[in-house]
Chain A
Amino acid sequence: MKKSIKTLCILLSCFFVFSLLTGCMLIKTPPRLKERGIILAVGVDLSEEGDFLLTAQKFVPKGAGAMSAIDPGKSNNVVMEGRGKSITKAFLDMQTKFGKELFLGNNSYIIIGKDVAEQGLFKYLPFFLESYEQGKGAAVLISETTAKEITNNQVEQDIMPASSLGEVTKRAKGISTAGETVLYKLSSDILSRKRSAVIPSVKKTKTADDKDAFSMEGTYFLKGDKICDKFSEKELAGYLILKDDWNNLFFPLEYDGKNYGIFMTVKNVKRKAYFQDGRLVFDFKIKINGNLRETVGEDRRKDDEGLIDFVTALTKKEAEKCCNLFLEKTAKENGCDCIKMSLYLKNKNPKLYKLVENNFEDYLKKAKFNVSVDFELNKLGLKKG
């Protein structure tokens, strides 16, 4: 008798403990798995009436036989839509229309319409930040048109359209984007009130055989929580170089009708910040290594020695130009700190930071930037024939 009471106690304890875990809770009739709608990507827009328009790509297995199978030949998703005066209301509207308890735990992409982003992101992000289901590592993107267009885009390059969105963003790093911007890093930058976040932009496009596709349309930088401007290709390169995030990426070089295919890696970026003649001065010493893969032009230089010197000088000049263009546009024109200069100053020169922290934007606009690149060419892609 005593033993069976003991066993019962053990079983009850196990039941109590596991009943606390997600999905097992007995409070207010929790949804079972088949009653849940697994969201893969969410788009946020504003309707013409000023309401929130939420669109979401929901995972729907369409494989033959077992319902859980994924058929790579099919799109495996449906797009849902909801409207409301708040994102929560729009989310609930979507839930009501589709009769599923929507689950954000698998949502990896938050797409914001450009119009919405221009008004300021921070009134839209708390819905995602405060949801315990939403992973804080989800990528945030800005749609060049509406977010709905992106969530609706039935790209067939991957098992799910949302997966190809992630792949496209990653592959476009250095070409048109600065890589993924994740939710918690974006929030951190906005909350700092000093730094400027960058967000890649995406657009719906068509492939050569007229199928739906995504194309990355560049990278926006923010001022506060609003879109400020977009990087040009060179400015984007400057941003990634100064951020020490250029790792074996293609760096386009062109001179006198000749194009050079060069892949380079930033080894380190040494910074120094000080005050001179009433203004902030930032010194950047950048060490870069690279490989030349190809030379496209009328005639290839005869001797490799000359080519090494020429490409080295050209890359150094071009990298410095990119960095200066980036700093000119972000810091000098707009007073935006995209590369954590304020944090650097706070760490390395707290006294100076305290002096400038209240008017950091103004100091940034007047700041002087000295960029010097030390480039080393590791190898030539082609040997002379």
Chain B
Amino acid sequence: MEKLDTPFEQIGCAQSVILLCLIRCFSIFSLSTMESDMENLSAKLFGIFLGFMIDLVFFIPTVIILKKNNGGIFELSKEVSNGFEKSLSVLYFLFALYSAVILAVQFNNFFVTTIYHGGEKIFFVIILCAVSLYGTKKGLEPCARAAAIFFIIILLTSFVGMFFLIPDIDFLNLSTPLFKGWKSVLRLAVFYASESFPICFLLAFGGKIKGGAKKAYLNYIIISLLILEVVSFLVITVLGEFGAAEAYSVFSLASASKGGILKRYDSFYMFSWIFTAIVKMTMLIYFSTTCLKPIFPKVKPATKSLFVAVLICVISYLFLENGKVFDIVLKLNSVGVFLVLTAIILPVATLLGIKIKTKRKVGGEAN
């Protein structure tokens, strides 16, 4: 577990891009009806693009933070005050916990509602957390290496599956994106921009990336945008209204793809989905453990990770028992509240704190 605390545990730019893309891929594979409306499928493509542009703009405070202190937001917040550092860590920890719980519940729901009807509710969450805990123990760099292997397999299988869908593309399913006006496009843009964990990840570990976080984030945005646009394009043009009505439209897309020696590609989808979930959960536990460092400096990182994993399981179980509460909690994320908080408000507050402190220091020295 020492690796978690080692400041020299660096990862390459390509590795970080792959890691971030896989984190994003989980959301891509979990595309569901709630983000799109049947009457205006094409708004999605435009909404995705705008969403990613919002993400780019929201990355600016991260760039400034990393410029000021390569150790990331937690190192920088130390300079403001210990209390500020602890408060900031708690807030980021809560956000990571929230994201992890959502991921765990979605993971569990997919298995229980789609594949193993009547499976034990918490079983899949425990398995996911156990595997991710092992990944967290190994550290950032080994996880990034494993992620690279998953990413190549996912890309190759997705490419083959998509290739056989080409004859079924019907461009007539693409209508004008503004058919329902700007409102629906903006709603979708906010939804697609709301994946804020990559920014938080870079706020904390951006300094560990060889070649710089800026380059990694830009590459991640380009690759993820491309993947999401291609997948959404296929969902719209191949499945049409059926894709909009399905709870897991990418799963249905894989199930509709038939060609070559394989009759269907949904098993590949499941493989990809499971591995992206593991990578994302590993990173969330890793991030949460880092957040807990200023609060519990004397507790071993391994103990903290275990605590986080247990907490995720317990909260997920409570949400699984109360589906309606989970729906409300999930909606909070889709309106971009956490993106604004974690990518804008908290980093800007840190920068302001530094500025005020410097001013006071200069003022004090002048007096």
Q: Which residues of A contact B (CB under 8 A)?
A: 9-10, 12-13, 16-17, 19-22, 25, 27-28, 105-106, 108, 132, 134-137, 182, 184-185, 187-189, 191-192, 340, 343-344, 346-347, 350
- Segment 114-150 of B: residues with Cβ below 8 Å from A: 114-116, 118-120, 123-124, 127, 130-131, 134, 137
Whether the Cβ atoms of A16 and B127 lie closer than 8 Å is yes
Whether the Cβ atoms of B240 and A188 lie closer than 8 Å is yes
> In the complex, what distance in Å separates the CA atom of A189 from the CA atom of B256?
15
**Which of B194-202, B257-265, B297-305 makes up part of the contact surface?**
B257-265
> In the complex, what distance in Å separates the CA atom of A59 from the CA atom of B348?
65
**Would you give the shortest CB distance from A362 to chain B, in whole angstroms?**
20
Whether the Cβ atoms of B264 and A137 lie closer than 8 Å is yes
Known: A108-B263, A137-B264. 20 other contacts (CB 8 A): A10-B134, A13-B134, A19-B127, A21-B267, A21-B271, A21-B274, A27-B118, A132-B114, A132-B251, A135-B255, A137-B258, A184-B239, A185-B168, A191-B38, A191-B242, A191-B245, A343-B175, A347-B172, A347-B176, A350-B175
Contact of B174 among A19, A20, A21, A347 (CB under 8 A): A347
**Would you give the shortest CB distance from A300 to chain B, in whole angstroms?**
39
> Does B160 belong to the interface (CB within 8 Å)?
no
Whether the Cβ atoms of A132 and B115 lie closer than 8 Å is yes
**Would you give the shortest CB distance from B28 to chain A, in whole angstroms?**
19
> In the complex, what distance in Å separates the CA atom of A6 from the CA atom of B252?
38
> Does B270 belong to the interface (CB within 8 Å)?
yes
Report chain B residues within 8 Å CB of A17. 131, 274-275, 278
Whether the Cβ atoms of B256 and A16 lie closer than 8 Å is no
> In the complex, what distance in Å separates the CA atom of A108 from the CA atom of B174?
28
> Does B296 belong to the interface (CB within 8 Å)?
no
> Does B241 belong to the interface (CB within 8 Å)?
yes
Whether the Cβ atoms of A136 and B175 lie closer than 8 Å is no
Whether the Cβ atoms of A28 and B256 lie closer than 8 Å is no
> In the complex, what distance in Å separates the CA atom of A277 from the CA atom of B243?
37
Interface string of B323-359 (1 = CB under 8 A from A): 0000000000000000000000000000000000000
> Does B173 belong to the interface (CB within 8 Å)?
yes
Whether the Cβ atoms of B134 and A9 lie closer than 8 Å is yes
Whether the Cβ atoms of A191 and B116 lie closer than 8 Å is no
Report chain A residues within 8 Å CB of B111. 20
Report chain A residues within 8 Å CB of B264. 105, 135, 137
Whether the Cβ atoms of A20 and B255 lie closer than 8 Å is no
Whether the Cβ atoms of A28 and B242 lie closer than 8 Å is no
Contact of A350 among B38, B119, B176, B267 (CB under 8 A): B176
Interface string of B274-306 (1 = CB under 8 A from A): 110010000000000000000000000000000
**Would you give the shortest CB distance from B16 to chain A, in whole angstroms?**
23
Whether the Cβ atoms of B172 and A344 lie closer than 8 Å is yes
> In the complex, what distance in Å separates the CA atom of A12 from the CA atom of B132?
12
Whether the Cβ atoms of B241 and A192 lie closer than 8 Å is yes
Whether the Cβ atoms of A137 and B116 lie closer than 8 Å is no
Whether the Cβ atoms of B256 and A136 lie closer than 8 Å is yes
B132: nearest residue on chain A (CB-CB)?
A13
Whether the Cβ atoms of B131 and A13 lie closer than 8 Å is yes
Q: A16-B131, A17-B278, A106-B263 known; A27 and B257 CB under 8 Å? A: no
Whether the Cβ atoms of A137 and B131 lie closer than 8 Å is no
> In the complex, what distance in Å separates the CA atom of A350 from the CA atom of B119?
47
Interface string of B81-119 (1 = CB under 8 A from A): 000000000000000000000000000000100111011
Report chain A residues within 8 Å CB of B256. 135-137, 182, 184
**Would you give the shortest CB distance from A310 to chain B, in whole angstroms?**
36
B241: nearest residue on chain A (CB-CB)?
A191
Q: Can you report 21 residue pairs joining A to B where beta carbons are below 8 Å apart?
A: A9-B137, A13-B134, A17-B131, A20-B111, A20-B127, A21-B267, A25-B116, A27-B119, A27-B123, A28-B118, A132-B266, A184-B242, A185-B242, A188-B240, A191-B241, A340-B170, A343-B173, A343-B175, A346-B176, A350-B175, A350-B179
Whether the Cβ atoms of A27 and B255 lie closer than 8 Å is no
Contact of A136 among B114, B124, B255 (CB under 8 A): B255
Report chain A residues within 8 Å CB of B123. 27
> In the complex, what distance in Å separates the CA atom of A50 from the CA atom of B67?
73
> In the complex, what distance in Å separates the CA atom of A184 from the CA atom of B242?
6
B252: nearest residue on chain A (CB-CB)?
A136
A186: nearest residue on chain B (CB-CB)?
B242
Contact of A135 among B116, B131, B172, B258 (CB under 8 A): B258
Whether the Cβ atoms of B257 and A137 lie closer than 8 Å is yes
Report chain B residues within 8 Å CB of A136. 242, 252, 255-256
Report chain A residues within 8 Å CB of B130. 12-13, 16
> In the complex, what distance in Å separates the CA atom of A340 from the CA atom of B175?
12
> In the complex, what distance in Å separates the CA atom of A132 from the CA atom of B251?
9
Report chain B residues within 8 Å CB of A12. 130, 134
Whether the Cβ atoms of B179 and A346 lie closer than 8 Å is yes
Contact of B239 among A28, A188, A340 (CB under 8 A): A188
